[in-house]
Structure 1
Amino acid sequence: MYPDELIPTWGVTPGKNEVNRNKWDRIDSGDVTLFSANGHIFSSGVVTVKLHNRELAEQLWGFNNAGETWEYIYFLDEIQQHQIPYLQFNQIAGYADNFIIQGFSVLTSERSERILEAFDLKSEVYLPDVSEEEYQNEVIRITAADDLDIAHSGTRRKEQPFLRRQLFKNRKHGHCGICGKMYPVNLLIAAHIKNRSKCTQEEKLDYKHIVMPMCKFGCDDLYEKGYIFIQNGAVRRNMRKMATPDLTNKLVELEGLICGHWNEGTQPYFEWHADIHNKVTI
């Protein structure tokens, strides 16, 4: 996680009546910390790990005038520099224009979402810790909404983080399941082997087999649109699809590569994909 062994570290004191500790309890891996001073937000970092360690805090920072130390600790990564005026932050978060950021606070999920989207602060490495039960409940709820044709924009917030954690496990790099090349995980997609919209609820819940990583350098699109498919564990090009000479060259590069995600559990989904795209001539 920290190959250079330099760990950005922050901590908070318990606070009066442990108010800071209660806020710290709400922090999870993947949350974003903002640092502000002199009328603007100047930096951000993504929470990787948190721990309560009074002894470590004493060694790092000593004590304040009240005899407290910053014992509620969290480690950070993906440090970024910013120049975000309070006014801009307040307007996006929904605070009064003259609101001044002070002390240690944790935003509501609604305000957090607005800020994360506005400033593109979400991490694709450090993801929220979504339990299997939470994932299952979200899939069931969304499937029910789909069946009833109910709009549910933005409600897949737990599904994608859960699937990405299953595939990448907080690693910063991963291999594309099609071309086999290694890329940063922000250039890899947790792609459904069988089109998600065609999956039954049971298939969506089969998270160990229904998704695989595909890169954004063409493999995801080529697979989704049926230019390539997986047959008996190897990449095949779809001869039924019309292709330009340049596209043909790309497909030839991929053809015959071994797909490491082919196994007994994933085979039915790969076969569905191959079958559906080889039925229609385009």
Structure 2
Amino acid sequence: MRQVILQPAGNAGARQHYADTIAAPVLLDDYSDLLGEDLASLLAIYPSGAAPLWGATVGEKNVNVGRYERMSVGDYVLFAADGKIFRGGTVTYKLRNAQLAAKLWDFDAKGRTWELMFAVDELRNFDLPYAEFNKMVGYKSTNIVQGFAVLDEPKSAALFDQLSLDSDTYPAVPSSGDLQKRLTALGDETERQVAAAQRLEQGLLRHWLLPDASGVCALCGRDFPAQLLIAAHIKKRAACTNQERMNMPAIAMLACKLGCDSLFEAGHISVDANGSVIVSSLAHEPGAAGEYLKSFAGKSSPAWNADRATYFEWHRKHTFKGSSIPKAS
């Protein structure tokens, strides 16, 4: 389950931190000596070389450490100041780094730095007064955001639903044990749970198909960063049985956002019984679309295997449009 993290940013110090490392993303190469192995991971997520970074201190008696350890990629942080939630973003990476935090933000009055660090992306503005926020999560109307906090599952779920906080690019990554429990729980949906189950399935599919910061499109065969890949059902989800939907990762594949996902969804490309990409009769038409489709003909799909064969067969029979053309010479 994705969680919501609350982060007050109203005092002078927090406002300055926000301006320095969220509003103005951190140039990662400037801190390569302090980032160590985290540098490569962050650059894979942020190819521009600049990442919005935030951090929390360990707090009194290390109270924030446990909260930080509960955080996961795909969680959502909400920044609060001046009586409202004003900004939010998806957590993309965690790194506990006291040296880097001290370099970025120095130390507080008690000699602590904001070492419980994380990176965020997909930042968006909010104008959500505390009174409305409190109503969403069931707090008293007079409650204010104080201190770094991780909300429980019911409160987080309410905010994800009402504020549309879900991210396809950075899904939550559950532990292996929790993953199996969640898969089993998807077997018996009620109507009220359908939307939540679909979001969870998408996150689980991406967890299976895209464990790293990049992956290979199953149709064009090119390597892309995670932000440009979709966990796409081979057999349409609506046509799947519960058992088929839980057949992860075989029920799905990675498809890039640079056209392959749309072409497969529309039936202009598919994969044959031998694992080769086939293209629809649109490829015979003159113009850019036909020429582009021809470039796919005969490519070997890196996603094809025996477990996926029946799902690709379903796609050919129910979605694919028209006959294929011979492989281009």
Q: For the superposition of Structure 1 and Structure 2, which TM-score range results when normalised by the shorter chain?
A: 0.7 to 0.9
Q: Does 1:117 align with 2:158?
A: no
Give 1:40-59 correspondences, 5 Å limit: 40-59=84-103
CA contact (8 A) 2:186 2:246 kept: no
Give unmatched runs, 5+ long, in structure 1: none
Alignment counterpart, residue 230 of structure 1, candidates 264, 268, 271: 271
Larger relative contact order (Cα-Cα within 8 Å, sequence gap ≥ 6): 2
Given residue 210 of structure 1, which amino acid in structure 2 is its aligned partner?
A: I
Report deviation, 1:178: 5.4
Report deviation, 1:163: 0.8
CA contact (8 A) 1:134 1:158 kept: no
TM-score after normalising by structure 2: 0.64
CA contact (8 A) 2:55 2:114 kept: yes
Q: Secondary structure at the match of 1:263?
A: coil
Match of residue 271 from structure 1? 313
Match of residue 134 from structure 1? 178
Report deviation, 1:211: 0.5
Q: Does 1:192 align with 2:236?
A: no
Change over 3 Å in CA distance of 1:132–1:274 after alignment to 2: farther
Q: Does 1:17 align with 2:58?
A: no
Q: What is the aligned-residue RMSD (CA, Å)?
A: 3.8
Report deviation, 1:219: 7.0
CA contact (8 A) 2:271 2:301 kept: no
Alignment counterpart, residue 209 of structure 2, candidates 161, 167, 170: 167
Match of residue 64 from structure 1? 108
Q: Secondary structure at the match of 1:11?
A: strand
Runs of 4+ in structure 1 deviating by more than 4 angstroms, as ranges, are: 149-152, 168-172, 174-189, 203-206, 214-229, 249-256, 275-278
C-alpha distance in 2 between matches for 1:103 and 1:182: 41
Change over 3 Å in CA distance of 1:195–1:42 after alignment to 2: closer
Report deviation, 1:127: 1.6
Deviations 1:9-28 (A, max 9, x none): 21111212221222212111
C-alpha distance in 2 between matches for 1:78 and 1:90: 24
Match of residue 33 from structure 1? 77
Give unmatched runs, 5+ long, in structure 2: 1-44, 321-329
Change over 3 Å in CA distance of 1:70–1:271 after alignment to 2: same
Match of residue 89 from structure 1? 133
Match of residue 108 from structure 1? 152
Answer with 73-82 or 219-228: which moved more.
219-228
Given residue 230 of structure 1, which amino acid in structure 2 is its aligned partner?
A: V
CA contact (8 A) 2:134 2:143 kept: yes
Deviations 1:158-184 (A, max 9, x none): 432121233344658x77655789999
Report deviation, 1:101: 1.2
TM-score after normalising by structure 1: 0.73
Report deviation, 1:222: 7.5
C-alpha distance in 2 between matches for 1:39 and 1:223: 47
CA contact (8 A) 1:46 1:123 kept: yes
Change over 3 Å in CA distance of 1:54–1:226 after alignment to 2: closer
C-alpha distance in 2 between matches for 1:73 and 1:222: 40
